[in-house]
Structure 1
Amino acid sequence: MKIKIITKLSYVLVLYLLIACQPKKTTETVMKPTDPHSYAQPAEARVKHLHWKAAVDFDKKIINAVATWTIEANADADLITFDTKGLSIEKVTLNNDAPTEYRLADADSTLGQALAVMLKPGTTEVSITYHTSPEAEALQWLSAQQTAGKKHPFLFTQSQAILARSWVPCQDSPGVRFTYDAEVTVPKDLLALMSASNPQIKNATGIYTFSMKQPIPSYLLALSVGDIAFTPISERSGIYAEPSLVDTCAWEFADLEKMIAGAEALYGKYQWERYDVLVLPPSFPFGGMENPRLTFATPTILAGDRSLTSLIAHELAHSWSGNLVTNATWNDFWLNEGFTVYFETRIMEKLYGKDYAEMLASLNLQEVKEEIKSLTDEGHAADTKLKLNLDDRNPDDGVTTIAYNKGYYFLRTIEEQNGREKFDQFVKDYFTQNAFKVMTTEEFIPFIKNYYQSKFTIALPDSLFNDWIYTEGLPSYCPTPVADRFTKVDETLTQWKSGKAIQTEATSKWSTHEWLHFLKNLPDTLTQQQMVALDKLGKFTESGNAEIITAWGVIAIRNGYEKVYPKIETFLTNTGRRKFLMPLYSELIKTAEGKKLATSIYTKARPNYHFVAVNSLDKLLK
Structure 2
Amino acid sequence: MAPVDPHSFTDSTHPFATHISLSLYFNFPSSTIHSSALLTLPSPHSGPISLDARSLAISSVLDPQTLTPLPFSLSPNSDPIKGQNLTITLSNQSSFLITFSTSPSSSALQWLSPPQTFNKTLPFVYTQCQSIHARSVFPCQDTPAARICYSARLNLPRQLSAVMSAAHIDRRPPILGEGLSSCDEALWCAEDRVVEEFAMEQPIPPYLFAFAVGEINYREVGPRTRVYAESVPAVLDAAAKEFAGTEEMIRQGERLFGPYEWGRFDLLVLPPSFPYGGMENPRMVFLTPTVIRGDASGAQVVAHELAHSWTGNLITNKTNEDFWLNEGFTTYAERRIVEVVQGEDRAALNIGIGWRGLNEDMERFHDNMEFTKLKTRQEGVDPDDIYSHVPYEKGFQFLWRIERQICRPAFDEFLKKYIATFKFQSIDTEMFLDFLKANVPGIEKEIDLDVWIHGTGIPPDALEPVSTIYTKIVSLATEFKLGRMPREDEVAEWRGQEWELYLENLPKGIESSQVAALDARYRLSECKDWEVKVAFLQLAISSGCREYFVEVEKTLKEVGRMKYLRPLYTALAQATGNDEAKILAKRVFMEARECYHPIAQGVVETILSKHL
Shift of 1:95: 3.2
Q: Percent identity?
A: 38
Deviations 1:466-510 (A, max 9, x none): 111100001111122112112332454466554445431221110
* Distance across 2 between alignment mates of 1:235 and 1:344: 21
* Distance across 1 between alignment mates of 2:197 and 2:213: 13
The verdict on how the C-alpha distance between 1:73 and 1:108 changes in structure 2, with shifts beyond 3 A counting, is: farther
Deviations 1:57-83 (A, max 9, x none): 1001000011001113566x3122211
CA contact (8 A) 1:201 1:230 kept: no
Shift of 1:326: 0.6
How do residues 128-143 of structure 1 correspond to structure 2 at under 5 angstroms? 128-143=98-113
Instruction: Work out whether 1:520 is the aligned partner of 2:507.
Output: no
- Matched residue, 1:166: 136
The verdict on how the C-alpha distance between 1:587 and 1:200 changes in structure 2, with shifts beyond 3 A counting, is: farther
Deviations 1:506-543 (A, max 9, x none): 21110211111211122323334322320123211111
* Distance across 2 between alignment mates of 1:576 and 1:226: 19
What secondary structure does 1:295 align onto? strand
* Distance across 2 between alignment mates of 1:352 and 1:104: 52
Identify which of 444, 449, 461 aligns with 2:445: 461
* Distance across 2 between alignment mates of 1:333 and 1:302: 27
Shift of 1:212: 0.3
Instruction: Work out whether 1:294 is the aligned partner of 2:281.
Output: no
What secondary structure does 1:461 align onto? helix
* Distance across 2 between alignment mates of 1:556 and 1:414: 39
Shift of 1:202: 10
What secondary structure does 2:384 align onto? helix
- Matched residue, 2:515: 531
* Distance across 2 between alignment mates of 1:235 and 1:61: 36
What secondary structure does 1:120 align onto? strand
What secondary structure does 1:186 align onto? strand
Instruction: Work out whether 1:334 is the aligned partner of 2:307.
Output: no
* Distance across 2 between alignment mates of 1:403 and 1:487: 25
Deviations 1:578-600 (A, max 9, x none): 11111111111123221101111
- Matched residue, 1:111: 82
CA contact (8 A) 2:216 2:231 kept: yes
- Matched residue, 1:285: 275
- Matched residue, 1:225: 213
* Distance across 2 between alignment mates of 1:364 and 1:301: 17
- Matched residue, 1:198: 168
- Matched residue, 2:494: 510
Instruction: Work out whether 1:375 is the aligned partner of 2:365.
Output: yes
What secondary structure does 1:72 align onto? strand
Shift of 1:232: 1.0
Deviations 1:216-265 (A, max 9, x none): 11111111101111111112111001122111111111111111111001
Deviations 1:330-387 (A, max 9, x none): 11111010000000000000101112101100111111011001111xx111110000
Amino acid at match of 1:477: D
* Distance across 2 between alignment mates of 1:397 and 1:283: 19
How do residues 122-161 of structure 1 correspond to structure 2 at under 5 angstroms? 123-161=93-131
* Distance across 2 between alignment mates of 1:334 and 1:541: 34
Segments of 5+ residues of structure 1 without an aligned counterpart are 1-30
Identify which of 233, 238, 248 aligns with 2:238: 248
The verdict on how the C-alpha distance between 1:148 and 1:200 changes in structure 2, with shifts beyond 3 A counting, is: farther
- Matched residue, 2:570: 586
- Matched residue, 2:531: 547
How do residues 598-617 of structure 1 correspond to structure 2 at under 5 angstroms? 598-617=585-604
* Distance across 1 between alignment mates of 2:171 and 2:517: 50
CA contact (8 A) 2:242 2:298 kept: no
- Matched residue, 2:426: 438
The verdict on how the C-alpha distance between 1:465 and 1:491 changes in structure 2, with shifts beyond 3 A counting, is: closer
The verdict on how the C-alpha distance between 1:495 and 1:41 changes in structure 2, with shifts beyond 3 A counting, is: closer
* Distance across 1 between alignment mates of 2:335 and 2:582: 37
Deviations 1:101-153 (A, max 9, x none): 111113212111111111112x1211000100111111100111111111111
Identify which of 305, 308, 311 aligns with 1:321: 311
The verdict on how the C-alpha distance between 1:247 and 1:386 changes in structure 2, with shifts beyond 3 A counting, is: same
* Distance across 2 between alignment mates of 1:219 and 1:271: 18
Identify which of 53, 61, 64 aligns with 2:34: 64
* Distance across 2 between alignment mates of 1:610 and 1:451: 43
CA contact (8 A) 1:385 1:471 kept: yes
CA contact (8 A) 1:287 1:577 kept: yes
Shift of 1:32: 2.9
What secondary structure does 2:440 align onto? helix
What secondary structure does 1:103 align onto? strand
What secondary structure does 1:573 align onto? helix
- Matched residue, 2:189: none
Amino acid at match of 1:185: N
Corresponding pairs, count: 584
Identify which of 47, 56, 68 aligns with 1:78: 47
- Matched residue, 2:8: 38
- Matched residue, 2:158: 188
* Distance across 1 between alignment mates of 2:139 and 2:156: 20
Segments of 5+ residues of structure 2 without an aligned counterpart are 174-191
Tell me which moved more, 468-477 or 562-571: 562-571
The verdict on how the C-alpha distance between 1:108 and 1:500 changes in structure 2, with shifts beyond 3 A counting, is: closer
Amino acid at match of 1:569: E
* Distance across 2 between alignment mates of 1:343 and 1:202: 40
Cα RMSD (Å): 1.8
What secondary structure does 2:525 align onto? coil
CA contact (8 A) 1:46 1:80 kept: no
- Matched residue, 1:570: 554
TM-score normalised over the length of structure 2: 0.92
Instruction: Work out whether 1:263 is the aligned partner of 2:253.
Output: yes
Shift of 1:53: 0.7
What secondary structure does 1:397 align onto? coil
The verdict on how the C-alpha distance between 1:442 and 1:59 changes in structure 2, with shifts beyond 3 A counting, is: same
Amino acid at match of 2:434: P
TM-score normalised over the length of structure 1: 0.91
CA contact (8 A) 1:371 1:402 kept: yes
Identify which of 88, 100, 104 aligns with 2:57: 88
* Distance across 2 between alignment mates of 1:101 and 1:201: 36
* Distance across 2 between alignment mates of 1:165 and 1:501: 51
* Distance across 2 between alignment mates of 1:108 and 1:142: 27
Tell me which moved more, 138-147 or 299-308: 299-308
Amino acid at match of 2:417: D
